[in-house]
Amino acid sequence: MDLTWYGHGTWHVAVGGRTFLVDPYFDPAYTDRVPADLDPDYVLVTHAHRTRRHDLDAFTEATVVANTELVNFLRKAHDVGAVHPLNLGGTLDADGAHVLMVCAEHAHGLRTSSYLDPDLEYEENEINVGIAAGYVLTDTEPTHTATADATTFYYTGETQLLSEMRAFVGAYLQPDVVATPIAEVPGMEGRSTMGPWQAAIAVDWLAPEVVLPMVAPSATDARARFEAELDALDCAAEAVFLAPGETFSV
């Protein structure tokens, strides 16, 4: 499994002979790569905010996966091809790879006037775009009788700390690698999603071999605090801080 981070919450995952792009957002660009450089089989969208779908139009040949309400919205707001709606707990069998949609907790309302514009001024949310989600990607179908060892990646999405991380994802899916936000935007750690303290608890619950923190390149304080929080909890997980465009293989 190859995991490439393109900045913010955008990941490219190659597993089981299939390729996935999660939350396509290249504006602003954190690397020299542009959407035209990528040709994923699937695009996974966690929720409706601009920073999760800004460049979706570039991937009309890919199958778009999102919650049911969000899929309906994306077909109106973007130029998309095939779609595959899921609901929480739903699984996509991608013929060699499996994707499970899991719970996330994050603001997800949307305004008609701001399909792709930054949210600079307050307006009431007008569109039901479904709930936020995270994704678990694995090369083995999740069952209680599987004999083969699975390689599993958990992308938390933008979320607060959830007991489901411990009770379900960690206990039964046992991810090898976890990507969690700690400070995707400098100065915003702990405000719009998990900061270093809560993210360390999530890692402690999930017990992966490796954690790939989603952190702005300039947020050095957040990196140091996250490592300190992991140490305080005696977490065995190795924190690997990728530069945008860098790949981690497992």
Q: Over 70: is that where the pLDDT of 121 sits?
A: no
- Fold for domain 2-111+127-249? Metallo-beta-lactamase; Chain A (3.60.15)
Amino acid 117: pLDDT: 54
Amino acid 28: pLDDT: 77
230, containing H or E segment: helix 220-232
Comparing 111-125, 128-142, 228-242, the range with the smallest average pLDDT is: 111-125
Cα separation, 209 vs 218, whole angstroms? 25
Q: Over 90: is that where the pLDDT of 138 sits?
A: yes
Tokens, residue 148: 């083969």
Higher pLDDT, 118 or 128: 128
Task: Supply the pTM of this predicted model.
Answer: 0.91
Amino acid 56: pLDDT: 94
Amino acid 129: pLDDT: 81
Amino acid 194: pLDDT: 85
Domain boundaries, the chain: 2-111+127-249
